[in-house]
Amino acid sequence: MMLRAMIARGKSALDHGRIPNAARDARLLAAHVCNIDQSRVTLHEMDEVAEAAITRFDGAITQRLNHRPVSRIIGARQFWGRMFQITDDVLDPRGDTETLIAEALKYPAKRILDLGTGSGILGITLAAEQVAAFVVVTDISKAALVVAKTNAKRHHVEDRIEFIQSDWFDSLHGKFDLIISNPPYIGENELEGLEPDVIDYDPMIALTPGGDGLAPYRIIAGQAQNHLSKNGRVIAEIGHLQGNNVRKLFLQAGFAGVQILQDLDGKDRAIVAKHPV
């Protein structure tokens, strides 16, 4: 079968299964099983596909019909221009989280702490973009730290990263110029509204802290000052309706220059707060 026909068959199956963006997903999965770059699929459309690759493609389409995200099927996700390994133990990184990197890079920092690193996208990206930086990345999940280490090696920054298993600040010492975090923040009562691509595949510990979803911000606002150097800053992702509540927590804790940042869709996406010098 030619690549073009295989993609058409996959698209048709995904369309029948009411999977959005069927054509795009079928092309991405075809590129993956044929081991060709996504941008070169058109060039290879008339190529014959080996039986083994067709079998892998059909398997991938079946997974997608079960709402498994393409990034999880191919085991990788691009973030700030770099590819990161994704496994079932980590959150599938979201494009909106790049809002935190754009803000962090405005003020280069020497010592950086990434709380709840998951696949490592925040800490590793900052280490790669700021060659003078030393980064501590933490997670309560040992399995997530294994993925983060693999990604740090992939991007040649493992020598400037320390990996610590910790429940937020519990096992941490020292001060940092920047504390960055994308904590779990979905409230318990919002879980049932999530798409199957999310609720069935992202680890629950990465999605929700339970309750109103604000517990990690209470901890970060309450304890970050003990770990921030003078002029240090916190940048944390927030849910788009949490801006007012999270701002209050940081103001009550005495932070200065508290600001809510919007993502490219204009939705509240992150909080920035400065050490009250």
Q: Beta strand 82-85 with 76-79: parallel, antiparallel or unpaired? A: antiparallel
Closer by beta carbon to ligand SAM, 130 or else 182: 182
Binding status of residue 103 toward ligand SAM by CB under 6 A: no
Residues 148-187 that bind ligand SAM (CB under 6 A): 167-168, 182-184
Are 86 and 93 in contact, with CB atoms under 8 Å apart? yes
Nearer to ligand SAM, 31 or 228 (CB): 228
Per-residue DSSP letter, 243: H
* Beta carbon of residue 240, minimum distance to ligand SAM (angstroms, whole number): 14
Q: What radius of gyration, in Å, describes the C-alpha atoms of the chain?
A: 20
Q: Does 217 bind ligand SAM (CB under 6 A)?
A: no
A 10 A CB-CB count for 221 gives 25
- Please, what is the minimum distance in Å from the beta carbon of residue 90 to ligand SAM? 6
Looking at beta carbons only, is 1 or 207 nearer to ligand SAM? 207
CB 176 within 8 A of CB 112: yes
CB 25, min distance to ligand SAM, A = 21
Q: How far is the CB of 52 from ligand SAM (least distance, A)?
A: 33
Strands (E), 69-109: 76-79, 82-85
Q: How far is residue 107's CA from residue 47's CA, in Å, rounded to a whole number?
A: 49
Contacts with ligand SAM, residue ranges (CB under 6 A):
90-91, 93, 97, 116-119, 121-122, 138-141, 144, 167-168, 182-184, 205-206
